[in-house]
């Protein structure tokens, strides 16, 4: 990463948005001697800050802040829906960027920001505050050093009465910090995410959610968040093979991190717990936000990657989106077992229609408990097994088997003689060529049942899988990737990659329109240009 600091001393920042949380950022950067500008559209707020911090410049327009050559970095603390637009403008102007959680709301926009920051040699940091809490830093060090032994499970409770919102549910409001901490402790991404919730105060805005994460290593975690709770609780519990730790942020500093050296004796038929008293862990006290602000300034000054950089923000965003999809599915089921349109109709006070909104040939078999989106077509002798979900406008060819419990996004096209087995997930607009093959067990034997050993396969948005190709289970096919006919995929395929052969190897890149890119990563058909990123390519 190139160093874009505009002077050899302390970098100066502009805080954009100085309301409920932004005022705390203003205070900290001012105390650190790095506050150069406050940008806010509210003139009364700016007047108050000019009185509170004499000599600090203020402005109402982002363009004025971006034009300042003495400002090296932008600190964005505005509503989540504005993050992408503001961060994009700041990066294009050559400014380092800190943005409050979540990074953005759309994964593709997040990928674009990460790629642009890399290309510009700029710092992009996300405000996952608790990663900088001295108590969590100590806990993370203990886990990393193996002091707790192998980690069995982690759970996090973040509960309170209020602050109730209309623009985002409790999951997006409370859970990002907990997801960030759990991912940091796990050191891997979950292979399974489920969520349930309750919608009590407002239709379509969850007030209470429980998210369950399952990781490839066997670690499990759950996150319980609520703004409809009688008392405040902010607790992270880590249960290890040797010891257990509790980070309780509502306690006085000396009691925030307690270690329990409990033991489990396994000598007899039934394991016996041997309890031990709690131990206080001594950690120097410091305001977490001060540590976070200092870390951002240090990364800007030294050109280093932050602990919570853009990619870490993307990982949290992906877990949030997978949790949201699970919540949406549950919400739909509350209103209708037949058709997702019923959710909208119920909100409007209308009764759902009993007529199917899709076409199925008379020879097709559709089991009970299947959800089929509007406009789907299911052709001769195909079978959709129970628990499967098809998004709208999918086209299912002849002699296709889907399920059980397969999830497909909208606009997918499955050609003849394809079986989409349990464990396979297709995102939007996936193309499966005739007679291509998915597997779901790595070492099948006819005489041995191994359905409890299914390995998940994810085919991301826009990917194309050629005729007679084979996708070995446990791998992911990236967005708009292209798998050549007859290829055998034995490892993850990057976004936009073109792979062929047995085993499949990459020979080039593909545009989202389906045309191979030239050496400059430009499409000769539609003119799109691309940049390389961690996941493969992203549109420039």
For 28-40, write each residue's pLDDT tens digit: 999 999 999 999 9
Q: What pLDDT does residue 167 have?
A: 63
Q: What pLDDT does residue 347 have?
A: 38
* Sign of the C-alpha dihedral computed for residues 41, 42, 45 and 50 taken in this order: positive
**Residue 345 binned pLDDT confidence (cut-offs 50, 70, 90):** very low
In the chain, the N- to C-terminal Cα span, in Å, equals 19
The residue assigned the tokens 């464990």 is: 423
Asked if the model's pLDDT at residue 351 lies above 70, the reply is: no
CB 222 within 8 A of CB 231: no
Asked if the model's pLDDT at residue 141 lies above 90, the reply is: yes
Q: What pLDDT does residue 271 have?
A: 76
Q: What is the chain's mean pLDDT, rounded?
A: 89
Question: 115-129, 249-263, 377-391, 440-454: lowest mean pLDDT where?
Answer: 440-454
* Contacting residues for 374 by C-beta, under 8 A, at least 6 apart: 339, 340, 341, 357, 358, 392, 393
Asked if the model's pLDDT at residue 418 lies above 70, the reply is: yes
Measured in whole angstroms, the distance separating CA 307 from the mean position of its chain's CA atoms is 16
Q: What pLDDT does residue 328 have?
A: 67
Q: What pLDDT does residue 452 have?
A: 82
Q: What pLDDT does residue 344 have?
A: 40
Q: What pLDDT does residue 339 have?
A: 42
**Residue 263 binned pLDDT confidence (cut-offs 50, 70, 90):** confident
**Residue 180 binned pLDDT confidence (cut-offs 50, 70, 90):** very high
Question: How far is the C-alpha of 125 from the C-alpha of 127, rounded, in Å?
Answer: 7
Comparing C-alpha atoms, which of 17, 181, 36 is closest to residue 100?
17
CB 314 within 8 A of CB 109: no
Which residues is 390 bridged to in the sheet?
A: 372, 408
**Residue 331 binned pLDDT confidence (cut-offs 50, 70, 90):** low
**Residue 350 binned pLDDT confidence (cut-offs 50, 70, 90):** very low
**Residue 353 binned pLDDT confidence (cut-offs 50, 70, 90):** very low
Q: What pLDDT does residue 173 have?
A: 87
Q: What pLDDT does residue 194 have?
A: 92
The residue assigned the tokens 């406009």 is: 375
SS3 per-residue string spanning 186-244: HCCCCCEEEEEEECCCECCECCEEEEEEECCCCCEEEEEEECEEEEEEEEEEEEECCCE
Asked if the model's pLDDT at residue 338 lies above 80, the reply is: no
Q: For the chain, which residues make up each domain, given as ranges?
A: 13-122, 132-284+321-326
* Contacting residues for 231 by C-beta, under 8 A, at least 6 apart: 159, 160, 161
Specify the CATH number of the domain 13-122.
3.40.50.720
Residue 488, CA atoms < 13 Å, CB-side half-sphere: 4
Asked if the model's pLDDT at residue 457 lies above 50, the reply is: yes
Compare 204 and 473 and report the one with higher pLDDT: 473
Question: 25-39, 143-157, 194-208, 489-503: lowest mean pLDDT where?
Answer: 194-208
pLDDT > 90: percent of the chain? 74
At residue 467, φ and ψ (nearest 5 deg) are -55, 135
Question: 20-24, 116-120, 334-338: lowest mean pLDDT where?
Answer: 334-338
Asked if the model's pLDDT at residue 225 lies above 80, the reply is: yes
Q: What pLDDT does residue 329 have?
A: 61
* Contacting residues for 285 by C-beta, under 8 A, at least 6 apart: 134, 253
Report the pLDDT averaged over residues 455-478: 95
At residue 283, φ and ψ (nearest 5 deg) are -135, 130
Compare 385 and 263 and report the one with higher pLDDT: 385
What would the DSSP string read from start to end of 342-379? HHHHHHTT-PPPSS-SSEE-TT-EE-TT-EE-TT-EE-
Compute the chain's Rg from CA coordinates. 26
| Residue 268 in tokens | 């007899």
* Superfamily grouping for domain 132-284+321-326: Dihydrodipicolinate Reductase; domain 2 (3.30.360.10)
Q: What pLDDT does residue 342 have?
A: 42
Measured in whole angstroms, the distance separating CA 338 from the mean position of its chain's CA atoms is 29
Q: What pLDDT does residue 239 have?
A: 95
Taken as a whole, the chain contains a residue count of 540
Question: 264-273, 308-317, 452-461: lowest mean pLDDT where?
Answer: 264-273
The residue assigned the tokens 């240009």 is: 529
């Amino acid at each position: 990463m190139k160093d874009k600091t505009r002077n050899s001393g302390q970098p100066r920042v502009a805080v954009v948005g100085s309301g409920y949380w932004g005022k705390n950022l203003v205070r900290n950067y001012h105390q650190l001697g790095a506050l150069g500008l406050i940008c806010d559209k509210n003139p009364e707020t700016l007047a108050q800050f000019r009185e509170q911090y004499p000599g600090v410049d203020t402005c109402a327009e982002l363009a004025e802040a971006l034009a300042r050559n003495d400002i090296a970095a932008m600190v964005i603390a505005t509503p989540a829906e504005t993050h992408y637009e503001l961060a994009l403008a700041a990066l294009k102007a050559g400014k380092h960027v800190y943005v409050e959680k979540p990074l953005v709301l759309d994964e593709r926009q997040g990928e674009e920001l990460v790629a642009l920051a890399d290309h510009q040699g700029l710092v992009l940091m996300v405000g996952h505050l608790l990663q900088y809490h001295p108590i969590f830093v100590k806990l993370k060090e203990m886990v990393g050093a193996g002091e707790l032994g192998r980690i069995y499970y982690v759970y996090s409770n973040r509960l309170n009465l209020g602050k109730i919102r209309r623009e985002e549910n409790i999951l997006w409001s409370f859970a990002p910090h907990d997801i960030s901490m759990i991912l940091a402790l796990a050191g891997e991404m979950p292979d399974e995410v489920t969520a349930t919730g309750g919608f009590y105060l407002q239709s379509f805005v969850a007030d209470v959610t429980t998210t369950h994460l399952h990781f490839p290593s066997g670690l499990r975690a759950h996150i319980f968040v609520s703004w409809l709770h009688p008392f405040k609780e902010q607790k992270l519990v880590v249960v290890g093979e040797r010891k257990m730790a509790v980070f309780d942020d509502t306690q006085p500093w000396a009691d925030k991190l307690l270690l329990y050296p409990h033991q489990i004796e396994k000598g007899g038929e039934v394991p016996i717990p041997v309890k031990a008293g709690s131990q206080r862990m001594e950690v120097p006290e410091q305001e977490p936000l001060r540590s976070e602000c200092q870390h951002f300034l240090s990364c800007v000054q030294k050109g280093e990657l932050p602990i919570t950089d853009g990619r870490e923000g993307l990982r949290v965003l992906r877990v949030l989106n997978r949790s949201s999809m699970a919540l949406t599915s549950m919400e739909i089921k509350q209103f209708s077992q037949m058709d997702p349109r019923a959710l909208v109709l119920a909100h409007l006070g209308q009764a759902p229609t009993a007529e199917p909104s899709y076409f199925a040939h008379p020879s097709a078999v559709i089991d009970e408990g299947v959800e089929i989106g509007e406009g789907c077509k299911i052709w001769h002798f195909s079978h959709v097994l129970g628990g499967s979900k098809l998004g709208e406008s999918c086209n299912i060819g002849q002699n296709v088997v889907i399920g059980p419990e397969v999830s497909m996004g909208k606009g997918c096209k499955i050609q003849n003689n394809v079986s989409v087995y349990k464990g396979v997930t297709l995102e939007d607009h996936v193309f499966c060529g005739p007679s291509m093959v998915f597997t779901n067990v790595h070492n099948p034997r006819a005489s041995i049942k191994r359905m409890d050993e299914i390995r998940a396969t994810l085919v991301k948005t826009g990917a194309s899988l050629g005729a007679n190709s084979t996708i070995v289970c446990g791998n992911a096919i990236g967005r708009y990737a292209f798998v050549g006919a007859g290829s055998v995929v034995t490892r993850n395929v990057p976004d936009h990659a073109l792979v062929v052969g047995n085993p499949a190897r990459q020979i080039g890149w593909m545009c989202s329109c389906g045309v191979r890119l030239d050496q400059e990563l430009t499409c000769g058909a539609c003119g799109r240009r691309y940049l390389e990123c961690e996941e493969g390519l992203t549109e420039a």
